[in-house]
Amino acid sequence: MRILMVGDVVGSGGRQTVKKVLPGLRRDLKLDFVVLQGENLAGGFGLTEETVAEMVEYGTDIITSGNHVWDKRDIVSRLDDPQFPVLRPLNYPPSNPGRGASSSGAVAVVNLIGRVWVGEFDSPFAAIDDLLAGGWAKGKPIVVDLHAEATSEKVAMGWHLDGRVAAVVGTHTHVATADCRILPGGTAYVTDLGMVGGMDSVIGMHVEEAMERFLTGVGRRFKPVTSGPMRFNSVMIEIDDKTGKAVSIERIDRELEL
């Protein structure tokens, strides 16, 4: 089984890039399942019903999210619908709407959020231990998106889950890392998928506003880069159907002009 996991898609430029790249990858790489990080789909902040439908149309099965999932309030009431293909991190306190794991498709997907430099959440390590302890999604490959800032926290999660899930990938920094590997227990791992967004940017946002914040300490609202050179960052993971373990993980990165 072949799974593609796509990094944070930023704004309309990111969505256009997904439209140009993903259907071809789905066909040419014979992908069985696509997981896409969608917390920045709508104008760089949050998701909407329309932007989610767009990603599904281009070949996405499940959309994971992160700290920006609550930015567009209209989507929040939809998160409780088990048919709606969007997860919010599992380790937000359980009083929040939505769910952090989905086992309805061919691949079971878990969305976690990190605590180092991100926010005050329940432990992602304890949350996934609780989920797996009950034999959740038995017989299906399980892939995990840990949406986190610190590389160390993501590397630690890889070791924590090695041999218990098929893949652990990181998101949130929007910067792809070059450390794809199969851990000794058979779990595919990469610290960050990267992003789908403008290259002449600061993690997908216009350079001017981002620089102003760094130079003056005063923030203006960030706007996503929507044209010019774009990058599409993802990894493809191949899973042995018999053992449920990963046999390979490789970066699938593309660049194009919008």
By beta-carbon proximity to Fe ion, the closer residue of 235 and 246 is 235
By beta-carbon proximity to Fe ion, the closer residue of 68 and 245 is 68
By beta-carbon proximity to Fe ion, the closer residue of 40 and 233 is 40
Q: What is the SS3 string spanning 37-104?
A: ECCCCCCCCCCCHHHHHHHHHCCCCEEECCCCCCCCHHHHHHHHCCCCCECCCCCCCCCCCCCCEECC
* Residue 50 C-alpha from the chain's centroid: 18
- Give the amino acid at 57: E
User: Exposed, middle or buried by CB within 10 Å (0-12, 13-18, 19+), for 84?
Assistant: middle
Q: Which residue number places its CB atom closest to Fe ion?
A: 8
Q: How far apart are CA 204 and CA 174, in angstroms?
A: 8
Q: How far apart are CA 184 and CA 236, in angstroms?
A: 19
The residues, any chain, with a CB within 8 Å of residue 120's CB and separated by 6 or more, are none
Which sequence positions are flagged as catalytic?
68
Rounded least distance, CB 58 to Fe ion, Å:
19
Q: Of 139, 115, 112, nearest to 37 (Cα)? A: 112
In this structure, what are the phi and psi dihedrals at residue 246, rounded to the nearest 5 degrees?
-80, 140
Task: Say whether 252 sits in a helix, a strand or coil.
Answer: strand
By beta-carbon proximity to Fe ion, the closer residue of 59 and 194 is 194
Rounded least distance, CB 130 to Fe ion, Å:
23
Rounded least distance, CB 40 to Fe ion, Å:
5
Rounded least distance, CB 88 to Fe ion, Å:
12
Rounded least distance, CB 67 to Fe ion, Å:
5
Rounded least distance, CB 138 to Fe ion, Å:
30
Task: Say whether 145 sits in a helix, a strand or coil.
Answer: strand
By beta-carbon proximity to Fe ion, the closer residue of 137 and 196 is 196
Q: Which residues bind Fe ion (CB under 5 A)?
A: 8, 39-40, 66-67, 172
By beta-carbon proximity to Fe ion, the closer residue of 14 and 141 is 14
User: Exposed, middle or buried by CB within 10 Å (0-12, 13-18, 19+), for 53?
Assistant: exposed
Q: Are 185 and 214 in contact (CB under 8 A)?
A: no
